[in-house]
Amino acid sequence: MAIVRKNLVIQGLSGSLGDQLVIRQAKGGQTVVATTPSFDSDREFSEAQLENMERFRQATVYAKDAREEDVYVEKAEGTPQTAYNVAMADWFHTPEVLEIDMSAWGGVQGQIIRIKAIDDVQVAQVNVVITDEQGNAIEQGAANHEGGL
């Protein structure tokens, strides 16, 4: 793959050149030249490859709907990524709970449990479910955001 800058002949072109080259425009205005991909017609996919292809299909459906959302548009501004790219990456990177602080919780409903969670775009919501040994819910509800990052 080559990235072309300030070439009057190729700059701004897109499409394919025979069966040899593919030319496209990147978000940053660069012209990208790459060889045409080739695949064996009788190739077989492994179970892991098929699962990964399904994950990409699901991510694509999500990103097509989500690319208009302000959070993705704002996150893509000033970068070579599009809002669609940011939404795709967000789909693949699930939020992560970093810390659960139960020091202020004494087993009484309504007491405070602090949770620190992160995501590559934003943590939209944290739901808490406290269960007993048998898996029965004792208390549950949405967490309240109290500042932080």
Which domain, by its residues, includes 61?
47-92
104 and 135 together in one domain: yes
Average pLDDT, the chain: 87
Is 54 a member of any domain? yes
Is 40 a member of any domain? no
Report, as an integer, the average pLDDT of 123-138. Answer: 88
pLDDT attached to residue 44? 92
Q: What is the 3-state secondary structure (H, E, C) of 71-138?
A: HHHHHHCCCCCCHHHHHHHHHHCCCEEEEEECCCCCCCCCCCCEEEEECCCCCCCCEEEEECCCCCEE
pTM: 0.64
Among 16-25, 77-86, 101-110, 140-149, name the most confident range.
Answer: 77-86
Q: Cα 22 to chain center, whole Å? A: 26
87 and 101 together in one domain: no
Is 8 a member of any domain? yes
88 and 103 together in one domain: no
pLDDT attached to residue 2? 65
Quote the number of domains for the chain: 3
Is 30 a member of any domain? yes
Is 123 a member of any domain? yes
